[in-house]
Amino acid sequence: MAVKVNNICFAYEREIVLRNISFEVEEGEFVSLIGPNGSGKTTLLKILMRLLIPKKGEVMIFSRNINSYSLNEFAKIIGFVPQDNFFPFPYTVLEVVLMGRTPHLRGIGFEKKEDLKVAFEVMELTNIKDLADKPVTSLSLGERQMVLIARALAQQPKVILLDEPNAHLDISHQIEIFSLLKILVKERNITVISVSHDLNLVSLYSDKIILLSRGEIFAVGKPDVVLTEQNIKNAYGTDVFIDVNPITGKPRVNLMPDKIGQFVDKFKNQKGAEI
Ligand SMILES: Nc1ncnc2c1ncn2[C@@H]1O[C@H](COP(=O)(O)OP(=O)(O)OP(=O)(O)O)[C@@H](O)[C@H]1O
């Protein structure tokens, strides 16, 4: 088992943000965390990253409590791609990617040939090799996102946590990055836990989906178990129409603005009505 979350509860102040959260993630699984704004997804990732301490419960990574790892051990196991890709200093792309090698550096901490090799390999994988000498502050939001993903990959972690990795990416880069993550899962047995609002992307790539609603797990399972019209209606308060993508065989979530929803309801109720 790569990750085991046992009965986590968390509150920033008085209001409880996460309540009795328990789930398991197998090694080499691609898991997506979904849920409405404010449902607690980022908070949960931050707890897994040890950036926040739960009021109750525990997190086990590879059968060890996360608090039992030294900082260096932990950084070799877990990579994090945060939601915010603001860079305060104009480091070059290569410098930022090399920061991911920090837990692997020995002695006085200068990079070795091996570190540069890994940095160039992950820049190649994320298609940012041509940007290596550019300052990160001069990049587009999508390019910065790729740099953060490359930095996390440079850590060579066993588990990667990503907070909305597709937020600033165009559709081609979204597919590119999710496909890359899927390849890492399959070929290198890396475990991915990714927060995303794009339900169709999540449907295509996830082995398992965890749906959070108001700080609790509302549903968990394979895409066709979690992505149902009823679950989405109950968790998000929104009507969707879900069918099966004829090419991939995965659930396809179709948004339905109110008027279309009313129209479909009317149509369903008036069989034979002329349109
Ligand atoms: N630093 C903080 N201090 C106090 N409350 C916070 C803090 N960060 C988040 N919250 C609150 O905790 C709740 C969960 O927030 P969180 O960011 O985990 O949700 P989320 O599901 O990731 O949302 P989104 O989809 O909008 O990114 C929200 O009500 C939010 O206002």
Domain count of the chain? 1
Domain span at 126: 90-157
Tell me, using a 6 A CB cutoff, whether residue 37 lines ligand 1. Answer: yes
- Between CA 124 and CA 30 the distance in angstroms is 22
Q: 176 lies in a domain?
A: no
Question: What ipTM is given for this predicted complex?
Answer: 0.98
Q: 113 lies in a domain?
A: yes
**What's the gap in Å between 160 CA and the centre of ligand 1?**
21
pTM: 0.90
Q: 37 lies in a domain?
A: no
Q: 69 lies in a domain?
A: no
Q: 236 lies in a domain?
A: no
- Between CA 150 and CA 246 the distance in angstroms is 33
Q: 199 lies in a domain?
A: no
Please give the number of the atom of ligand 1 that sits closest to the Cα of 215.
14
**What's the gap in Å between 68 CA and the centre of ligand 1?**
27
Tell me, using a 6 A CB cutoff, whether residue 17 lines ligand 1. Answer: yes
Chain-centre distance for alpha carbon 265: 35
* Matching residue, tokens 């990667």: 160
Task: Find the distance separating the first CA and the last CA of the chain, reported in whole Å.
Answer: 54
**What's the gap in Å between 186 CA and the centre of ligand 1?**
32
Q: 150 lies in a domain?
A: yes
Tell me, using a 6 A CB cutoff, whether residue 42 lines ligand 1. Answer: yes
Tell me, using a 6 A CB cutoff, whether residue 47 lines ligand 1. Answer: no
**What's the gap in Å between 85 CA and the centre of ligand 1?**
17
pLDDT truncated to tens, each residue of the chain (275 aa)?
999 999 999 999 888 999 999 999 999 999 999 999 999 999 999 999 999 999 999 999 999 999 999 999 999 999 999 988 778 889 999 999 999 988 877 665 667 888 899 999 999 999 999 999 999 999 988 899 899 999 999 999 999 999 999 888 889 989 988 999 999 999 989 999 999 999 999 999 999 999 999 999 999 999 999 999 999 999 999 999 999 999 999 999 998 876 666 666 666 676 555 54
